[in-house]
């Protein structure tokens, strides 16, 4: 059944297979949840959760991504992983794993950035994949607007309207309770960055340059360049040593000169 025109939840039970990235993300989140509850003495949430004040004052930039894998209670984890499964699997199937992963982290980091901007003095950790999940909801709503879901597992509603309702609820929550509204801002931020991604081709092209494959190619190029520079430097040193031997004899060679010659002999 097509998710564009059909019912999402009527087909839910038959989709038990997980795509690679979605499956890996769920496994990592579950593993991290178990680890942080076994080793409770480690301050996981202050180190890897998103603490806006620390991101700015101590430049703990990694928190913009690591907070996505931390969940304090089981219900929060289950709800986020359920939504990641329901919506992420469909999106990954449509886009492919690489684009899905870049989108997931782009919206997650965007959600974290919005939290930092709107609560830069806060020492309250923001945790969970909800920001990235909200980005997935926006993507799904834009890709399959007429697909029907059960909002809050009760109300059947087209996805395009459900996304607007959820955005409105989070906006009201952020406005009515600003002191504890960081999570609301994260949700809205994830949705906003998801919308920008889908509407702006320049953003998609920029992110494609920083895919794991492109980063690997860039590192390989840098390593090849360094190797070439080392070889050129050794050749220059060899020329200097040969001139020294010609002028002063072999006995004039220093220990360092001899090491350079040995290194040159070992080269294929």
Q: Quick one: pLDDT at residue 78? A: 93
**pTM given for the model:** 0.70
Cα 5 to its chain centre, rounded Å, is 31
Cβ atoms 167, 227 nearer than 8 A: no
Q: Quick one: pLDDT at residue 5? A: 38
Q: Quick one: pLDDT at residue 97? A: 87
Cβ atoms 163, 134 nearer than 8 A: no
CA-CA distance, 105 to 88, in Å (whole number)?
Answer: 13
Q: Quick one: pLDDT at residue 150? A: 78
Q: Quick one: pLDDT at residue 15? A: 47
Q: Quick one: pLDDT at residue 27? A: 94
Which superfamily is assigned to 9-210 in CATH?
Rhomboid-like (1.20.1540.10)
How confident is the chain (268 residues) per 10-residue block, as mean pLDDT? 40 52 93 93 90 87 92 90 91 89 92 87 87 93 85 80 86 70 80 87 62 57 67 71 73 72 62
SS (H, E, C) 182-246: HHHHHHHHHHHHHHHHHHCHHHHHHHHHCCHHHHHHHHHHHHHHHHHHHHHHHHHHHHHHHHHHH
> In the chain, what are the domain boundaries?
9-210, 218-266
């Amino acid at each position: 059944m097509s998710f564009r025109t059909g019912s999402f939840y009527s087909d839910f039970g038959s989709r038990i297979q997980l795509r690679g990235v979605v499956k890996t993300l769920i496994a990592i989140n579950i593993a991290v949840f178990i680890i942080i509850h076994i080793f409770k003495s480690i301050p996981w949430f202050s180190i890897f959760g998103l603490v806006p004040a620390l991101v700015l004052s101590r430049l703990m930039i990694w928190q913009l991504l690591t907070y996505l894998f931390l969940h304090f209670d089981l219900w929060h984890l289950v709800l986020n992983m359920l939504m990641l499964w329901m919506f992420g699997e469909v999106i990954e199937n449509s886009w492919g794993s690489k684009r899905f992963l870049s989108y997931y982290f782009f919206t997650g980091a965007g959600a974290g950035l919005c939290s930092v901007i709107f609560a830069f003095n806060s020492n309250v950790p923001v945790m969970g994949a909800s920001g990235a999940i909200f980005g997935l909801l926006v993507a799904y709503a834009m890709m399959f607007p007429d697909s029907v879901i059960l909002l809050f597992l009760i109300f059947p509603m087209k996805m395009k309207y459900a996304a607007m309702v959820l955005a409105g609820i989070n906006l009201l929550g952020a406005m009515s309770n600003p002191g504890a509204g960081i999570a609301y801002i994260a949700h809205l931020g994830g949705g906003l960055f998801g919308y920008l991604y889908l509407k702006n081709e320049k953003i998609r092209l920029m992110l494609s340059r920083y895919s794991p494959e492109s980063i690997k190619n860039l590192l390989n190029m840098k390593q090849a360049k360094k190797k070439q520079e080392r070889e050129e430097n050794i050749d220059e040193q060899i020329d200097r040593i040969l001139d020294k031997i010609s002028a002063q004899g072999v006995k004039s060679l220093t220990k360092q000169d001899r090491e350079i010659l040995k290194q040159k002999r070992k080269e294929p």
